Structure 1
Amino acid sequence: MLKLIYTENSFTLERLEESLEAWVNTRVILSLHSATSFHIKSSTAAFLIRDEEIKFFKTAKSPSSPRNELENVSQENLIDICRCDAEYLEVTFKGVWMTSDIICETGVFVTNLSPSAELLFQKLSQSGQFCHA
């Protein structure tokens, strides 16, 4: 599972071994026990990746190129990839948005992809080549 944490000025991406369903259930239960408002909805999250950066990454579990891995996940209708300009690609995930304030732009977005795609995005995020879209 991938977790994108959106703050006022940036976002971070984390890869978790826990299932999306178990993680969301834990958050709902925590919200109920702490009497905290909690909003959840199906949504999308987008960010930019430098196209050049994708060429330098290979995942340990996938013999295919990173670009092929992204195209495979895109064909499975899990993400959308669009070229923005000569340097950047926009990647859009489908998943679940959670926040404590419905009108706030800070919160957590979670999604499930193939393990090799999640590993690729984790490596890309660690390279510092993500840009909030």
Structure 2
Amino acid sequence: MLKLTYTENSFYLELLTESVEEWIQARVILTLRIGQSLCVEPSTATFLLPVNLPGLAQLHTQVEQLDNREVIELYACDTEFLEVSLRGYWLSANGQSMSGGFVTTMSQNTEFFLHNLWLEARKSASFAIE
């Protein structure tokens, strides 16, 4: 399972071993116990990866071969970035919140590979900023 955590000015992508159903169930139980509300709804999340990132061709191949297109789609954004679009579930305190978490699942190989690409992109971006 992939989990994207969105904050006001950033996001973080995690690779988790739980199933989407187990993770959502645990969050529902937690919010009930602490007396808070939780909105869970089907949604789409997107993020960008640099087009010069090694391995993007392999990601394209995995998406096409493993028929992950129901969950993940790749779009050429511009000459510098590729947009990764994921379908899954958005969890937040209310339906209007811009902060929250997004979870999705696809083949384990694709999840692992996508997570590694995202880590590599972050590493490259941090070198560019310094």
Return the TM-score normalized by structure 2: 0.85
Q: Deviations over 1:11-39 (max 9, x none)?
A: 00000001110010000011111101111
Following superposition, the deviation at residue 102 of structure 1 comes to 2.5
Following superposition, the deviation at residue 51 of structure 1 comes to 1.7
**Which residue does the alignment assign to 1:27?**
27
**Which residue does the alignment assign to 2:55?**
57
Percent of paired sites with the same residue? 37
1:118 maps to 2:111: yes
Kept in 2, the 8 Å contact 1:3–1:109? The answer is yes
**Which residue does the alignment assign to 1:37?**
37
Q: Give the Cα separation in 2 of the matches to 1:104 and 1:49.
A: 25
Kept in 1, the 8 Å contact 2:6–2:100? The answer is yes
| Bigger helix fraction | 2
Structure 1 residues 29 and 75, CA, compared in 2 at 3 Å: closer, same or farther? closer
Q: Give the Cα separation in 2 of the matches to 1:114 and 1:89.
A: 20
Moved more, 95-104 or 71-80: 71-80
Structure 1 residues 122 and 29, CA, compared in 2 at 3 Å: closer, same or farther? same
Q: Give the Cα separation in 2 of the matches to 1:35 and 1:21.
A: 21
Which letter maps to 1:77?
E
Could you tell me which runs of 5 or more consecutive residues in structure 1 were left unpaired when the two chains were aligned. 59-63
Kept in 1, the 8 Å contact 2:3–2:14? The answer is yes
1:48 maps to 2:48: yes
Q: Give the Cα separation in 2 of the matches to 1:14 and 1:34.
A: 25
Which letter maps to 1:12?
Y
**Which residue does the alignment assign to 2:128?**
none
Q: Deviations over 1:80-118 (max 9, x none)?
A: 211111221111100000001332200000000111110
Kept in 2, the 8 Å contact 1:12–1:125? The answer is no
Which letter maps to 2:55?
F
**Which residue does the alignment assign to 1:61?**
none
Could you tell me which runs of 5 or more consecutive residues in structure 2 were left unpaired when the two chains were aligned. 126-130
Root mean square deviation of aligned Cα: 2.1
